[in-house]
């Protein structure tokens, strides 16, 4: 019989004879690992869902006109070679149009780029929504609806009516759900839209738009690009924003810089636009790690305690084993093996528990107005969590078992035998 088999055999006999304590210690590990898997699956699932929401609706790069004051003022150019310092107080940006200059060629060029999945033009106009004597101010965006659907999942946010209605009939509108509610309007009704220049347009409501953010849904509506240009009283080259979606989101920062350098426009990448959002995800992940690690440490202390007790109860056994020729290292490994047994069994059950509860959460209905596309709680079944769980179980039980086992290794059999 090999040394390993002999140690395993002795450990097994010890564990079986102390079934209750073994089970309690293993359950501690089970709950620790189970909770870890559940927390991580749920938290990262939630992060993924929220990321998805933002990524779906936010363009990777937004292109719009510059409104910042010019950095290089005329005086700098005129006296460029002088060593004098020039102070100019109270610089104001000059009046600029909201439209992007040369938008149509820029759009065409962007669309041709390999890294670009697509780009959509938008024309934004400030309006009043009129119904009877009610008057709400808001914003109407002119869009190319097919491209918005393809690139930004626009369809997911139309909760009633037909999304392509605005393309088929020019004088129709996808009205913000909050506006519809305030004005008591429904799909098929008409809404009067008044432009800042005072012209009014009577539009048929083709559908209702709901993003989940009340302050957006209370002001924002969508019409076809041409309709928006008509409300603005502008030509077909009036485009105030271009939304770009890239093949790879990681390209957003360099791409926005290239656009800025190449054209006389401002470009905002998604990383900068959603910096706070990333922080939120990070904090959620950190909290789940903190809670999981706490649970595992508690489970580790449970094992440590029970193993200490085992060793106390097994003093005589240890003395006999040593008196009959087992080495201190044999004895140490007998107890480490017991700890690892507890860890492995507890860890395996923890994985079953974690998976079971994850499936349960995954099938729990979760419906909220804020997230129209979500019907159940999100769960991330990443196998990495399960692997990590087992690794955690083995490592933590090894460490929890090691200290008491070291104590057993050092026990002097003479003291035990004399003590009788």
> Which residues here bind another protein, judged by CB under 8 A?
1-3, 6, 10, 13-14, 16-17, 316-317, 319-330, 413-414, 417-418, 420
In the complex, minimum distance from the CB of residue 14 to another protein, in angstroms, rounded to a whole number: 7
Q: What does the alpha-carbon distance between residue 121 and residue 234 come to, in Å, rounded to a whole number?
A: 15
Q: How far is CA 96 from the centre of its chain?
A: 37
Q: What does the alpha-carbon distance between residue 334 and residue 408 come to, in Å, rounded to a whole number?
A: 9
Cβ closest to another protein, residue 6 vs residue 50: 6
In the complex, minimum distance from the CB of residue 306 to another protein, in angstroms, rounded to a whole number: 16
Query: Hey, what are 59's tokens?
Result: 């363009």
Cβ closest to another protein, residue 48 vs residue 328: 328
In the complex, minimum distance from the CB of residue 23 to another protein, in angstroms, rounded to a whole number: 17
Question: Comparing C-alpha atoms, which of 214, 239, 243, 221 is closest to residue 57?
Answer: 243
In the complex, minimum distance from the CB of residue 284 to another protein, in angstroms, rounded to a whole number: 48
In the complex, minimum distance from the CB of residue 351 to another protein, in angstroms, rounded to a whole number: 30
Determine if residue 85 is left, alpha or beta; phi over 0 gives left, psi from -120 to 50 gives alpha, anything else beta: beta
Q: Which single residue is written with the structure tokens 């990262």?
A: 44
Cβ closest to another protein, residue 6 vs residue 344: 6
In the complex, minimum distance from the CB of residue 353 to another protein, in angstroms, rounded to a whole number: 30
- Residue 197: count of CB within 10 angstroms of its CB: 9
In the complex, minimum distance from the CB of residue 370 to another protein, in angstroms, rounded to a whole number: 60
Cβ closest to another protein, residue 276 vs residue 420: 420
Cβ closest to another protein, residue 2 vs residue 368: 2
Cβ closest to another protein, residue 18 vs residue 241: 18
Helix (H, G, I), strand (E, B) or coil at 365: strand
Query: Hey, what are 49's tokens?
Result: 């869902």
Cβ closest to another protein, residue 13 vs residue 137: 13
Cβ closest to another protein, residue 91 vs residue 414: 414
Spatial contact of 251 and 160, defined as CB atoms under 8 Å apart: no
> What sections of 153-224 are H helices per DSSP?
165-168, 177-182, 214-217
Q: What does the alpha-carbon distance between residue 248 and residue 252 come to, in Å, rounded to a whole number?
A: 8
In the complex, minimum distance from the CB of residue 6 to another protein, in angstroms, rounded to a whole number: 5
> What sections of 176-274 are H helices per DSSP?
177-182, 214-217, 225-232, 252-262, 270-273
CA torsion sign, 200 to 206 to 208 to 209?
negative
Q: What does the alpha-carbon distance between residue 146 and residue 164 come to, in Å, rounded to a whole number?
A: 8
Question: Comparing C-alpha atoms, which of 238, 210, 240 is closest to residue 222?
Answer: 210
């Amino acid at each position: 019989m090999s040394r390993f088999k002999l140690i395993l055999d002795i450990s097994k006999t010890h564990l079986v004879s102390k079934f209750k304590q073994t089970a309690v210690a293993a359950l501690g590990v089970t709950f620790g690992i189970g909770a870890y898997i559940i927390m991580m699956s749920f938290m990262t699932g939630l992060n993924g869902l929220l990321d998805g929401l933002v990524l779906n609706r936010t363009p990777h790069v937004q292109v719009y006109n510059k409104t910042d004051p010019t950095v290089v003022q005329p005086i700098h150019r005129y006296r460029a070679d002088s060593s004098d310092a020039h102070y100019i107080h109270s610089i104001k940006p000059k009046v600029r149009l909201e439209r992007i200059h040369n938008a149509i060629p820029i759009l065409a060029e962007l669309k041709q780029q390999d890294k670009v999945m697509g780009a959509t033009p938008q024309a934004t106009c400030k309006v009043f929504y009129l119904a009877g004597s009610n008057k709400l101010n808001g914003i109407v965006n002119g869009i190319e609806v097919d491209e918005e659907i393809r690139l930004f999942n626009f369809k997911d946010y139309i909760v009633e009516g037909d999304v392509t209605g605005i393309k088929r009939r020019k004088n129709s509108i996808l009205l913000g759900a909050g506006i519809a509610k305030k004005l008591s309007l429904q799909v098929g009704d008409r809404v009067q839209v008044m432009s800042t220049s005072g012209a009014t347009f009577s539009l048929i409501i083709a559908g209702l738009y709901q993003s989940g953010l009340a302050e957006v849904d209370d002001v924002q509506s969508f019409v076809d690009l041409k309709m928006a240009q008509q409300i603005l009283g502008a030509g077909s080259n009036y485009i105030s924003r271009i939304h770009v979606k890239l093949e790879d989101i990681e390209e957003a920062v360099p791409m926005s810089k290239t656009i800025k350098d190449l054209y006389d426009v401002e470009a905002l990448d998604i990383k900068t636009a959603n910096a706070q959002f990333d922080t939120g995800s990070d904090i959620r992940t950190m909290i789940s790690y903190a809670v999981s690690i706490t649970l595992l440490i508690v489970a580790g202390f449970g094992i440590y305690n029970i193993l200490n007790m085992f060793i106390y109860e097994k003093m005589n056994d240890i003395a006999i084993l040593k008196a009959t020729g087992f080495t201190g290292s044999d004895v140490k490994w007998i107890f480490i093996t017991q700890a690892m047994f507890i860890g492995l069994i507890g860890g395996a059950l923890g994985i079953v528990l974690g998976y079971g509860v994850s499936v349960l959460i995954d099938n729990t209905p979760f419906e909220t107005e804020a997230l129209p596309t979500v019907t159940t709680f999100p769960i991330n079944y990443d196998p990495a969590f399960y692997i990590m769980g087992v690794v955690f179980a083995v490592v933590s039980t090894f460490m929890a078992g090691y200290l008491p086992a070291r104590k057993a290794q050092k026990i002097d059999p003479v003291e035990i035998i004399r003590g009788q």
